[in-house]
Structure 1
């Protein structure tokens, strides 16, 4: 049986979840306040939906989306360009012994929700659900 990257173990530990949420909140605050010294990044409103950390807490992957969904590729590029400054800010505010390497990915949660809604609206699926 092939392993799925989301289901290949017991799941994240409480520590991973707690640190991921602290990083998420910190990134959200830093981006909302415009603390980064990049005017292009500060012009964007960015939602940080989730942060997942590796078991050793050395890597933190932030799932982000620009408000309104426009400029998705630009936001990843801008965040990557400023990741060292963001990493320093996160490390200082979160208070970890080692600041994790930040990686940024587009948050596709809303796209998947739309796909699910469309699926449930199909006649064949509705018919099966009603039975």
Structure 2
């Protein structure tokens, strides 16, 4: 039952952070193009939240994460005003590379398919 609660809290944090990131005035964050919160993972005691972000422009992604880390206190305060929790989790931002990882695996599978395409089993 607690895991369902954590899941709902993660979704709510993700939704609120996505809305708040758009209003940040830091040029590192606003200059990164389209920045999206892909996933939030909160510890069971609600003290820490790992926030995974992905940028459309991968060259600006590291700078955007640095900007988000510097704005973490502001975002935490704004999050605490919206969410009704005993503890507002400390935000830790990480660049999400799951899309690149999935594309790499897909390319490997296509490569195997191309190599075995000429050799059909009878």
TM-score range, shorter chain: 0.7 to 0.9
Give the one of 70, 82, 87 matched to 2:76.
87
CA separation in 2, counterparts of 1:97 and 1:30? 21
Contact 1:24 1:51 in 2 (8 A): yes
SS at match of 2:29: helix
Structure richer in helix, relative to its length: 2
Larger Rg: 2
Q: Provide the TM-score with structure 2 as the length reference.
A: 0.83
Does 1:52 find its partner at 2:38?
no
SS of 2:59's partner is: coil
CA RMSD of superposed structures (Å): 2.3
Instruction: Give the aligned length.
Output: 117
Task: Select 2:65's aligned residue among 76, 96, 100.
Answer: 76
- Structure 2's unaligned 5+ residue stretches are none
**Unaligned runs of at least 5 residues, structure 1:** 1-11
